[in-house]
Structure 1
């Protein structure tokens, strides 16, 4: 039996695995994943070597937004199982030395939550002030803010004639954090799960909880500047952290929407007053030309390097970041920035190395460890994601975008690209379920699956296993500073990490053509050695002049 260590800073050398339960593993024939399915794969995750699981929401929910619309914070969604199943998962994970991080959504609740149901149609309800209500302005919505899922951010309650705020779907009503009672409810919820032994929390869009209270029109944008990193957000987080997170030594990761480095330095400050670490998404907008997500576009390679440099140097010694390419809201990285056909394995390994050697805590999204790809859906009926279907309706039926063009955009940008069921083996439905899955499986599952990856020692799976181990063995990955070696190189992303004891250089060719670079003049190449690469025939000696093959990565370490 493996036990959980008591080190409060365990997360600084850890690698965390994200599970999207609906698509991970179905223990029966429902066509949707469940908690018992996760339990059945814990040995697989232990072999991979991860330290913790981040579990996306399994609470009671009508599933308008795949569980991010919680209707009861204290109950498990029957689609996923029972509270007894959850307790078993927690115990069995801990027995294998795997911690559990729960996803918690406290910017908003489902409109089916009993608080909102009580508030609806009754201005005198004690729960009315749990949400954000405003009178109409000249018969219209209170302001011009837009929902992140399209359309107005306000919905009308016919019975009272007032509007409530929803920054996401209309079924996701924003909580009023100005109300101290709401903050007490949030503390109670977190305490409940911490008392069970949950090791930490991932806080969904947590930097949106504080809104500017004048709710004025935004004449420059969609309203986000009035609620992103809002006026009281740090005060609110410090209150929750002191009352709950610090009492239970909970590791916390905040999902930060459209945030800034300066705010994230404070959110993840090393004094631990707010959160352990932060997710930011700026590096995943390099294929959004002029900030526009819903267009098919190549990625801006130089911008990608600039963003990594900005965040790595900016957080070093001040805060802590989460490192990731994929999650349940992002397309598969090997399809997005790699080459998911001819160089799928090479580019998947390169992309993994280029992010795992940075400072921060890496997150691996289910299937990323054997390079699952976008599914390449050909019919709009195959999509289930509310954001994707909404945008299809808006762009095709209102804006006149051609169907084929929109299908190409969805094939690149839809959140469903990452939500296709986990490809476990070559059996029917990829071993995910005994029944037709809720979302179509990618056609390539017979060649790309976990079983095949574990049988091949040159697979992406074992490369991830090595990256996870290196983080524990090479201290400079955790402690070193960061220097972008080739900011203007049009093909190589190469950076240096340096501490008092060690220097590490990670070289990555992001393209299918061979390219060259030269190591820094002060780097003692003769004293250095290769510790990992994605081609088997690495040179015996490290030379300053490096020739990198298509999508090649090389990790070089020198003892100072």
Structure 2
């Protein structure tokens, strides 16, 4: 009877408000809560490359503290920092040996707290990178686990007794020999999806899950505001170890990711950590289908709050670049899939990719500034939370490393060995690696034109890009038309125009070969974004054209309108309001 009365009351209320139940269902503002992590702008810091204060060549917490005012000046509202836990550094911190301790190169727990407090004082939230698909092989859990078959920690990892024969093949993303590693101490194999020094944790063991939740609580109690769950779509394993078909490695996520049990674990995490502490969590990856992604982030599922997919960054993996048509299609279909429910991030670069400028803009001296401004305008104009990688706000570029001897990254070295073993053309492999390697995105931050770009007084852990004399923060601070100052303006534009956050997205003239145009409508606003992705002038006919009064942002000082045609300069980026 109570259910019937509630249903009747809801029906009468909807009719009183003048909308049908279906209209109420389609009203995204009523379904999706407005919150800080949707409205914010996230800035990613790779800590060992940001700012060094003690001369050891590695960035540290005190370096971030020194640059807190700079971060505040960007207008960003969140910082995600890559791992800084105790680690042997086989994979630059993504091999954690103690989740509650800080690697000495970054400083102390007191330094971390001072950095966190400094961010909070400037209205910046902090997102912790949680690496719990695997640990380091130097973590005490693994040292105990491999010590004997009857150790209490044995079941913290996945083991295959050698007397059962060779384990069923599993692909490793970093190891050409596969994901099972033989360990003679107990005559058994352990599983590692990544490097052999990164054994996979056994999430099917409830004790492991509780360990992880306790780690997250430890950091939440210190004031951390959110968590980025590294490689989390692979955490749950099919422990029946079925035989996968030949060639399955090409569709890695389908075979190794998003097992149904993962959602049970996420619901546990939500109940134990996310909800009680009021934090948010973003998953690295979104599965292999839109349903996968929604199952991760839809609010009513009480799992995670945000996911980011890789289809956009996958568009430009080779020096041949990408097609604008594909770029439009990928962003449009993901927006459509999340138009009414769920939330995703918007990004084109991070620590696992080469530089945004080389892959999606134009690094040539003539066009680097306007093309980077265009890409940053785009990122701040889409629905979803924009993620910006350190250095992209000044247009940092790839570094030239044509020979394998120059690389230190475990991923690059592993892929090279795989290419060599399979008889690939190594000259072609190196051409692509030089363009796409994630080491391009890890060079030291270019602060000024002093030696080592002002990053360190010592020898940097990785060489500084030679173009730091021209591309650096200090050179752009005083130039009102610089990439840096345009980025600041664009962050402010996003904050001041809620349609760019919550408004409906609609593609305009989808077939235009050079211009990406779309509207963002809602929150009492009707905005149009027009972006010329070409190094040549281009034009588009529009029903409503910008005027000087209606322009919200323009990366050029001129506006060329002729009749019903908008003429754009190379890489010109405009946002203007449209009369409703």
TM range (shorter): over 0.9
Structure 1 or 2: more helix by fraction: 2
- Per-residue deviation at 1:379? 3.6
Taking the aligned partners of 1:543 and 1:24, their CA distance within structure 2 comes to 49
Tell me the matched-pair count.
543
Taking the aligned partners of 2:564 and 2:187, their CA distance within structure 1 comes to 71
**Partner of residue 389, structure 2:** 365
Q: Residue 287 of structure 2 contacts residue 293 of structure 2 at CA under 8 Å; is this kept in 1? A: no
Structure 1 segment 498-513 matched on structure 2, within 5 A: 498-499=521-522, 501-513=524-536
- Per-residue deviation at 1:8? 8.2
**Partner of residue 96, structure 1:** 122
After superposition, the C-alpha distances for 1:231-277 in whole angstroms (9 at most, x for unaligned) are 21112111101111111110221111653222212212134711121
Taking the aligned partners of 2:175 and 2:552, their CA distance within structure 1 comes to 47
CA RMSD after TM alignment: 2.0
After superposition, the C-alpha distances for 1:116-164 in whole angstroms (9 at most, x for unaligned) are 0100141111111111112459743x12221111420111121222211
2:248 is aligned with 1:221: yes
**Partner of residue 183, structure 1:** 209
**Partner of residue 453, structure 1:** 476
Counterpart pick for 1:44 among 63, 70, 73: 70
**Partner of residue 22, structure 2:** none
2:263 is aligned with 1:234: yes
Taking the aligned partners of 2:381 and 2:540, their CA distance within structure 1 comes to 19
- Per-residue deviation at 1:70? 0.7
Structure 1 segment 532-543 matched on structure 2, within 5 A: 532-539=553-560
Q: Which moved more, 1:264-273 or 1:204-213?
A: 264-273
SS of residue matched to 1:79: coil
Taking the aligned partners of 1:284 and 1:111, their CA distance within structure 2 comes to 30
2:179 is aligned with 1:158: no
Q: Which moved more, 1:106-115 or 1:378-387?
A: 378-387
Q: Residue 286 of structure 2 contacts residue 293 of structure 2 at CA under 8 Å; is this kept in 1? A: no
**TM-score, structure 1 normalization:** 0.93
Counterpart pick for 2:352 among 309, 322, 329: 329
Taking the aligned partners of 2:547 and 2:47, their CA distance within structure 1 comes to 48
**Partner of residue 199, structure 2:** 173
The alpha-carbon distance between structure 1 residues 276 and 418, as it changes in their structure 2 partners (threshold 3 A), is same
After superposition, the C-alpha distances for 1:177-201 in whole angstroms (9 at most, x for unaligned) are 1111111101100000000111111
Structure 1 segment 383-422 matched on structure 2, within 5 A: 383-396=407-420, 398-403=422-427, 405-422=428-445
**Partner of residue 570, structure 2:** 550
Counterpart pick for 2:232 among 206, 211, 214: 206
Counterpart pick for 1:376 among 380, 400, 407: 400
Q: Which moved more, 1:152-161 or 1:265-274?
A: 265-274
- Per-residue deviation at 1:543? 6.4
- Provide structure 2 residue ranges, at least 5 long, that are not aligned to the other structure: 1-32
Taking the aligned partners of 2:548 and 2:118, their CA distance within structure 1 comes to 45
The alpha-carbon distance between structure 1 residues 39 and 535, as it changes in their structure 2 partners (threshold 3 A), is same
Taking the aligned partners of 1:40 and 1:429, their CA distance within structure 2 comes to 17
**Partner of residue 58, structure 2:** 32
**TM-score, structure 2 normalization:** 0.90
- Per-residue deviation at 1:214? 2.0
**Partner of residue 13, structure 2:** none
**Partner of residue 342, structure 2:** 319
Q: Residue 203 of structure 1 contacts residue 252 of structure 1 at CA under 8 Å; is this kept in 2? A: yes
**Partner of residue 25, structure 2:** none
Taking the aligned partners of 2:515 and 2:57, their CA distance within structure 1 comes to 43
**Partner of residue 78, structure 1:** 104
- Per-residue deviation at 1:500? 5.5
After superposition, the C-alpha distances for 1:504-548 in whole angstroms (9 at most, x for unaligned) are 2211122212222222x4x58689821111111124x79642222
2:169 is aligned with 1:148: no
Taking the aligned partners of 1:178 and 1:513, their CA distance within structure 2 comes to 55
Bigger-Rg structure (1/2) = 2
**Partner of residue 501, structure 2:** 478
- Provide structure 1 residue ranges, at least 5 long, that are not aligned to the other structure: 1-6, 289-294
After superposition, the C-alpha distances for 1:372-395 in whole angstroms (9 at most, x for unaligned) are 000122443322211112222332
Taking the aligned partners of 1:474 and 1:395, their CA distance within structure 2 comes to 48
The alpha-carbon distance between structure 1 residues 75 and 65, as it changes in their structure 2 partners (threshold 3 A), is same
Taking the aligned partners of 1:544 and 1:253, their CA distance within structure 2 comes to 43
- Per-residue deviation at 1:68? 0.8
SS of residue matched to 1:174: coil
Counterpart pick for 1:110 among 104, 124, 136: 136
Q: Which moved more, 1:275-284 or 1:371-380?
A: 371-380
Q: Which moved more, 1:420-429 or 1:274-283?
A: 274-283
Q: Which moved more, 1:246-255 or 1:386-395?
A: 386-395
**Partner of residue 314, structure 2:** 285
Counterpart pick for 1:353 among 359, 377, 386: 377
Taking the aligned partners of 2:244 and 2:212, their CA distance within structure 1 comes to 29
Q: Residue 354 of structure 1 contacts residue 507 of structure 1 at CA under 8 Å; is this kept in 2? A: no
2:297 is aligned with 1:268: yes
The alpha-carbon distance between structure 1 residues 8 and 482, as it changes in their structure 2 partners (threshold 3 A), is closer
Taking the aligned partners of 1:63 and 1:544, their CA distance within structure 2 comes to 58
**Partner of residue 4, structure 2:** none
Q: Residue 100 of structure 1 contacts residue 198 of structure 1 at CA under 8 Å; is this kept in 2? A: yes
The alpha-carbon distance between structure 1 residues 423 and 372, as it changes in their structure 2 partners (threshold 3 A), is same
Q: Residue 211 of structure 1 contacts residue 226 of structure 1 at CA under 8 Å; is this kept in 2? A: no
Q: Residue 396 of structure 1 contacts residue 406 of structure 1 at CA under 8 Å; is this kept in 2? A: no
Q: Which moved more, 1:366-375 or 1:279-288?
A: 279-288
Taking the aligned partners of 1:302 and 1:215, their CA distance within structure 2 comes to 41
Q: Residue 545 of structure 2 contacts residue 566 of structure 2 at CA under 8 Å; is this kept in 1? A: no
Taking the aligned partners of 1:428 and 1:308, their CA distance within structure 2 comes to 40
